[in-house]
Amino acid sequence: MKTNQIIIMLLLLVSQSACTQTNKKMKYNQLTPEEQAVILHKATERPFVGEYTDNKATGVYVCKQCDAPLYRSEDKFESHCGWPSFDDEIKGAVKRIPDADGQRTEIVCANCGGHLGHVFIGEQYTAKNTRYCVNSISMKFIPAKNTNMETAYFASGCFWGTEYHFMKAKGVKETTVGYMGGHTQHPTYKEVCTGETGHAETTEVVFDTTQTSYEDMVKLYFETHDFTQVGGQGPDIGDQYRSVIFYTSEAQKQVAEKYIDILTNKGYKVATILEKAPEFWPAEDYHQEYYDKKHGSPYCHIYRKIF
Residue type, 273: I
Residue 27: band (very low, low, confident or very high) from pLDDT cuts 50, 70, 90:
confident
φ, ψ for residue 152 (rounded to 5)?
A: -130, 155
Pick the closest to residue 139 from 37, 70, 87 (CA basis): 70
Q: What is the pLDDT of residue 57?
A: 86
Percentage of residues of the chain with pLDDT beyond 90: 79
**Nearest-angstrom CA–CA distance, 258 and 252:** 10
Residues 6+ apart with CB under 8 A from 102: none
Tell me the average pLDDT of the chain: 90
φ, ψ for residue 238 (rounded to 5)?
A: 145, 155
Question: 133 catalytic, yes or no?
Answer: yes
Yes or no: say if 83 and 47 are a contact pair by the CB < 8 Å rule. Answer: yes
How do residues 256-277 score in pLDDT, each as one tens digit?
999 999 999 999 999 999 999 9
Domain ranges in the chain are 33-142, 146-294
The one catalytic residue in 63, 109, 133, 300 is 133
Q: What is the pLDDT of residue 5?
A: 52
- To the question of domain 33-142 being in CATH 2.30.110.10, the answer is no
**Nearest-angstrom CA–CA distance, 59 and 145:** 8
The whole-model pTM stands at 0.58
Q: What share of the chain is helix, strand, coil (3-state, %, to 5)?
A: 30, 25, 45
Look at residue 20 and give its three-state secondary structure: helix
Q: What b/e string do you get for 94-129 counting C-beta neighbours within 10 Å, with b at 16 or more?
A: beeeeeeeeeeebbbbbbbebbbbbbbeeeebeeee
The one catalytic residue in 63, 109, 158, 300 is 158
**Nearest-angstrom CA–CA distance, 235 and 299:** 9
- To the question of domain 146-294 being in CATH 2.70.150.10, the answer is no
**Nearest-angstrom CA–CA distance, 208 and 196:** 35
User: Worst-scoring range by mean pLDDT, 75-79, 196-200, 233-237, 298-302?
Assistant: 298-302
How do residues 220-242 score in pLDDT, each as one tens digit?
999 999 999 999 998 999 999 99
Same topology, domains 33-142 and 146-294? Answer is no
Q: What is the pLDDT of residue 74?
A: 92
Question: 158 catalytic, yes or no?
Answer: yes
